[in-house]
Amino acid sequence: MSTENEGNEVPKAPSAPPVPVDSPAASSQSPTAGGTEPTAPLPPVPHNAPTATGPHPGGPAPQAPGSAPDGSWPPPPPANPPYGEGQVYGAGPAGAPGGFGADGAGGAGGWGASYQQPAPKPRSGRGGLVAAVLVAALVAGGLGGGLGYTLAKDNDNNGSTTVSASDSGATQVKRAPGTIAHVAAKALPSTVTIEAEGTNGDGGTGTGFVFDTQGHIITNNHVVADALDGGKLTATFPNGRKYDAQVVGHAQGYDVAVIKLKNPPSDLKPLALGDSDKVAVGDETIAIGAPFGLSNTVTTGIISAKNRPVASSDGSATSKASYMSALQTDASINPGNSGGPLLDASGAVIGINSAIQSSSSGGFGSGQSGSIGLGFAIPINQAKYVAQELIKTGKPVYAKIGASVSLEDSSDGAKITDQGAAGSSAVEPGGPADKAGLKPGDVITKLDDMVIDSGPTLIGAIWTHKPGDKVTLTYKRGGQEHTTQLTLGSRVGDN
């Protein structure tokens, strides 16, 4: 798959879901076997962009293989493009260099996609275009109405038996529970449009939803990233109520953030959370967000796939990769839907919309990529755990195996590298992998029942678990297959 961000191609991504490794060595990307490519984060719409326009997701062009950079967390900013060549995600000692736990020799770069805010555009230009379109629509509507009345009048004179419903009847229509209209009516009051503005004036628009009655709102990390260092955050409800907000905690690796309303209202109604583990391919989905700045937009689709490995980046100078074993949906989501809820047919949240795959420009002729029916959401079971940790401590907690794995394009599995980043050990002494008997050169092919076809897939899969969880790893050594049980370790914070 190819994803666009500011018009750049994105490198390939694995076909299976990622599993968390100790921590990625640097912000890097790795193509997957099978010719598919990773998706880019669904960027927020610049707050100062014209109405109904916004940036689109995407990423840097695939990079040639090279040597792995230092695996410290956060990873050192890549030279050019944002994601360097030959970087490796693996697992390093807690607190030691290794970002997402990745140390070691690298494979081809390009796992993930960068996102850069486009230069602000004057409101008058796009606004004028949209206004012109609206005026044309209204004129066409008036003409159509006039013709319709004339034809109806003529038909009446010719003995037409057509009967029209009274206007008063329209107000009596009730939407049955389970219908899209009913679900949307219940969920919309608990969603917000988030505007984030940095101290330098940069920022964008995304979405969030009410998590509890204390005023906590869940959204994407990349939605609030611009406001992290002294910036400004606001959240606006569909009824027009607008509140200042502050970041409670954010997790770059998971791409989840929690903000809290200042002086929250007493009538907040949290959205019900579903069980993303029980979601099935083909289930109906409903997405709510602010695509291209159009707040309170509702779209529908189905679950197209589960456990889809996705890696993305916000494109900043210190950008680090985010990983998810995502729910894939064909519900139309676009830039500005970031952080919004993905609902099931009952109205329960099953995911947080976070990334899209896009192939061409769109968005009111703005040159920004839009939906082609390939959207990705963070499963709510994972997001709920992350949000609860952020509310309790302000810091994310990541599971790890304590081994460095290669990000080379391979369908054979996740290979533990011969050496970690900056000359460190590929297998953390005394760490989970070491205790389980894993060694450099071992190729991990399964985590429990999940097939592992690459390092990034392993990272995403590990991060669907919690520290302390016991997992069974299947691996190959010298052509022979082995299995071992491993208790996942933990790493606190993104740094």
Average pLDDT of span 57-72:
37
pLDDT, position 311: 80
Instruction: Report which of residues 190 and 362 the model is more confident about.
Output: 190
Q: What percent of the chain has pLDDT over 70?
A: 61
**For position 441, what pLDDT does the model report?**
93
For residues 55 and 49, what is the distance between their CA atoms, to the nearest angstrom?
9
Beta bridge partners of 209: 191, 218
Cβ-Cβ contacts under 8 Å for 217 (sequence gap 6 or more): 192, 194, 208, 209, 210, 211, 235, 245, 258, 259, 260, 261
Model's pTM, two decimal places? 0.68
The more confident residue out of 26 and 388 is 388
Residue tagged 């390092």 (tokens): 455
Mean pLDDT of 454-463: 89
- Which pLDDT tens digit goes with each residue over 281-298? 999 999 999 999 899 999
Contact indicator for 375, 353 with CB cutoff of 8 Å = yes
User: What pLDDT, on the 0 to 100 scale, is given for residue 427?
Assistant: 94
Render pLDDT for 359-383 as a digit per residue (tens, 0 to 9): 654 444 445 567 788 899 999 999 9
pLDDT of residue 161: 54
- CA-to-CA distance for 442 and 476, rounded, in angstroms? 6
280 pLDDT higher than 90? yes
Kindly report the average pLDDT of the chain as a whole number: 73
The single residue of 103, 226, 255, 494 carrying the catalytic annotation is 255
Distance CA 227, CA 451 (A): 38
Residue 39: its pLDDT value, please?
Answer: 54
pLDDT the model gives residue 457: 87
Rounded Cα–Cα distance for residues 244 and 233 (Å) = 6
Instruction: Tell me if residue 190 is catalytic.
Output: no
pLDDT given at position 245: 97
How far is the C-alpha of 83 from the C-alpha of 322, rounded, in Å? 13
Q: Which amino acid is at 137?
A: A
Identify the CA nearest to 211 among candidates 42, 331, 380.
380
Alpha helices in 205-283 (DSSP H): 221-224
277 classed as catalytic:
no
Of residues 47, 56, 216, 222, which has the active-site annotation? 222
- 397-414: average pLDDT: 86
Q: Kindly report which listed range (2-16, 362-376, 446-460) carries the lowest average pLDDT score.
A: 2-16
pLDDT tops 70 at residue 158: no
* Contact assessment for residue 92 and residue 102, using Cβ atoms and an 8 Å cutoff: yes
Residues 6+ apart with CB under 8 A from 309: 13, 14, 15, 16, 17, 18, 32, 38, 323, 324, 325, 326, 454, 456, 457, 460
Of the listed ranges 106-120, 334-348, 471-485, the one predicted with least confidence? 106-120
Spell out where 198-319 has E strands.
Answer: 203-210, 216-219, 232-236, 242-251, 256-261, 284-289, 297-312
- 338 catalytic, yes or no? yes
**Rounded mean pLDDT of 310-316?**
68
Give residue 168's pLDDT: 54
pLDDT score at 322: 86
> Given 338, 358, 369, 410, which residue is catalytic?
338
| Whole-number Å distance between alpha carbons of 157 and 77 | 76
Q: For 20-34, 67-81, 131-145, which range has the lowest pLDDT when averaged over its residues? A: 131-145
Under 8 Å CB-to-CB from 18, ≥6 apart: which residues?
A: 309, 310, 311, 323, 324, 325, 456, 457, 458, 459, 460, 461, 462, 463
Mean pLDDT of 267-293: 96
Residue 29, pLDDT score: 38
User: CB 86: neighbour CB atoms within 10 A?
Assistant: 23
Cβ-contact 334, 45 below 8 angstroms: no
User: Among 114-123, 173-182, 233-242, 483-492, whose mean pLDDT is lowest?
Assistant: 114-123
Comparing 150-154, 225-229, 343-347, 433-437, the range with the smallest average pLDDT is: 150-154
Give the model's pLDDT for residue 356. Answer: 85
pLDDT at 166: 58
Can you tell me the distance from the alpha carbon of 58 to that of 8, in angstroms, rounded to the nearest whole number? 6
CA distances to 227, 229, 234, 235, 236 from 244, rounded to whole Å, are 12, 15, 4, 6, 9
